[in-house]
C-alpha cells in the first residue's frame, strides 16, 4: 500500500518540477529576471495532458488526488522560489495559477478519456488544446498586467529627446505622415494625459498636475525659476538628468537637433543643493535597479554625489527623492531609461513580458495611484551597488 501511494506522489512531484522548469526556461522567468508564478499558465496544457494520459486507467478519485497534488507541489515550489529570490510570494498569481491548472487538468482528463470513432480526432483536439491554451493564456496575462489609464490632470512634459516628430529630416514628409511618437511617449500617452511643451515659462502645470523634465536642452533662467516655484509650491516633478546620454543620435555630431550629450540642468540642481556626477567608466551595459519595489533598467547612469538632508537615495544614489519646499521631486541620473529597448517587451502588446517597470514607475509618479494592472511582475532582487 505504501509503494502504491508513493507512485502518484512521485508522479505529481516530478510533474510539478517539470512545470516549474518550463516556466523558468520557456515561460520567460530566467530571461526577464522574474519569478512570476503566472508565467507558467500558458505552458500548463502539455504537462496536464501527459498526467491525464499516465493515469487514464485509474479511478476518478485517484486522478483527482494526483492532479491536486501536482498543483499543490507546483504552488509550493513557486512560492518558495518567490520568497527566496524576490522576497515575496505573489499570492494572487499563485491563486490564479492554481485555478488555471485545475481547469486545464479537467479539460485534459476529458480529452484523454474521449473515444470518438475517428482516431485522429483526439490528437487534433490535444493539439488544439495546447495551442489554444497557450494563446489564450498569454492574452489573459497581457490584459491582467496592463495598467488602466489615469484620469488625473495632464502631466506637463519638457524634453530634449526626440520623442515626437522623430521619423526623419524631411519636414514635408513628416507633416504628411503625422506625429511619429517614440514608444516611450506613446506609452506615457496611453497611461494618462500628457501635455508636451517647448517652454515652461508660459506652460506651468495645472493645479494637481505633475511635471516631467526629461533631459531638456538649455533652459532660460525664467524657466528654471518656474520649475523651482512649481515644486516649492507643492508640485510633483520627475527630472531625468543624464550626465552622459547614450540616446542614439539621428544627425551628424554637433547637429542641434540631436539630444544634449550631457545634462544642462546644473543651475537648477545647484540651487537645490544637489550635484550629479558622471557615470562610472566601467558601466558599459544596462543595469537593473529596484526603486520602491519596481524594476528600472539604466544605462551609464550618473550618481548624485551631494544631497541635502531632505533627500532619500535609492539604487546606489542613481535615483533620489527630495522634498523641496512643499513639493517633492524624483531625480534620476539617467535619461536613457526611456529608450524603448531597455523596457519594452519583445512582443508588442505583451505587457506581461516587459523587461522593466520603467513606464509604470513613471506613471505612478506622475499620476499617483496608477501604473499597474491587477498583476505585477515579481522581480528577482537586483544586486545593490
pLDDT at 53 over 80: yes
Bridge partners of 34, per DSSP, are: 379
pLDDT band at 253 (very low <50, low <70, confident <90, very high): low
Is residue 277 a contact partner of residue 313, using CB atoms and an 8 Å limit?
Answer: no
Check residues 372 and 29 and name the one with the higher pLDDT.
29
User: What is the CATH code of the structural domain delimited by 155-366?
Assistant: 3.40.50
DSSP string, 129-141: HHHHHHHHHHHHH
The mean of the pLDDT values for the chain is 88
Distances (CA, A) of 174 to 225, 231, 248, 258: 34, 36, 19, 17
Helix (H) or strand (E) holding 183: helix 183-191
Residue boundaries of the structural domains of the chain: 2-145, 155-366
pLDDT of residue 174: 46
- Whether this prediction's pTM lies above 0.85 is answered by yes
Q: For 307-339, how does the pLDDT look when each residue is reduced to its tens digit (9 = 90+)?
A: 999 999 999 999 999 999 999 999 999 998 999
Nearest by Cα to 182 from 168, 198, 164:
164
Amino acid at each position: 500500500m505504501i509503494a502504491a501511494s508513493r507512485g502518484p506522489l512521485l508522479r505529481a512531484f516530478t510533474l510539478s518540477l517539470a512545470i516549474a522548469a518550463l516556466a523558468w526556461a520557456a515561460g520567460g522567468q530566467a530571461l526577464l529576471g522574474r519569478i512570476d508564478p503566472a508565467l507558467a499558465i500558458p505552458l500548463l496544457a502539455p504537462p496536464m495532458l501527459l498526467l491525464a494520459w499516465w493515469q487514464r486507467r485509474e479511478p476518478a478519485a485517484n486522478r483527482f488526488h494526483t492532479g491536486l497534488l501536482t498543483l499543490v507541489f507546483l504552488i509550493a515550489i513557486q512560492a518558495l522560489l518567490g520568497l527566496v529570490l524576490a522576497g515575496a510570494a505573489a499570492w494572487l498569481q499563485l491563486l490564479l495559477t492554481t485555478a488555471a491548472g485545475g481547469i486545464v487538468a479537467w479539460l485534459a482528463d476529458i480529452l484523454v478519456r474521449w473515444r470518438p470513432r475517428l482516431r485522429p480526432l483526439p490528437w487534433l483536439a490535444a493539439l488544439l488544446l495546447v495551442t489554444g491554451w497557450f494563446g489564450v493564456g498569454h492574452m489573459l496575462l497581457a490584459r491582467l498586467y496592463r495598467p488602466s489609464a489615469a484620469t488625473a490632470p495632464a502631466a506637463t512634459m519638457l524634453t530634449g529627446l526626440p520623442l515626437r516628430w522623430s521619423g526623419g529630416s524631411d519636414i514635408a514628409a513628416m507633416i504628411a505622415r503625422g506625429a511619429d511618437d517614440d514608444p516611450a511617449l506613446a506609452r506615457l500617452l496611453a497611461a494618462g494625459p500628457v501635455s508636451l511643451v517647448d517652454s515652461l515659462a508660459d506652460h506651468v502645470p495645472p493645479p494637481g498636475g505633475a511635471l516631467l523634465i526629461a533631459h531638456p536642452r538649455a533652459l532660460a533662467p525664467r524657466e528654471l525659476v518656474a520649475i523651482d516655484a512649481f515644486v516649492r509650491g507643492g508640485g510633483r516633478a520627475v527630472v531625468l538628468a543624464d550626465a552622459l546620454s547614450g540616446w542614439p543620435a539621428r544627425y551628424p555630431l554637433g547637429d542641434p537637433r540631436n539630444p544634449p550629450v550631457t545634462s544642462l540642468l546644473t543651475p537648477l540642481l545647484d540651487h537645490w543643493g544637489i550635484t550629479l556626477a558622471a557615470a562610472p567608466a566601467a558601466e558599459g551595459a544596462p543595469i537593473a535597479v529596484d526603486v520602491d519595489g519596481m524594476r528600472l533598467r539604466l544605462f551609464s547612469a550618473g550618481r548624485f554625489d551631494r544631497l541635502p538632508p531632505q533627500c532619500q537615495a535609492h539604487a546606489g544614489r542613481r535615483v533620489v527623492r527630495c522634498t523641496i519646499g512643499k513639493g517633492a521631486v524624483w531625480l534620476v541620473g539617467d535619461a536613457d531609461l526611456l529608450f524603448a529597448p531597455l523596457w519594452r517587451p519583445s512582443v508588442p502588446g505583451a505587457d506581461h513580458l516587459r523587461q522593466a517597470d520603467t513606464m509604470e514607475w513613471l506613471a505612478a509618479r506622475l499620476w499617483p495611484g496608477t501604473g499597474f494592472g491587477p498583476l505585477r511582475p515579481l522581480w528577482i532582487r537586483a544586486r545593490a551597488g
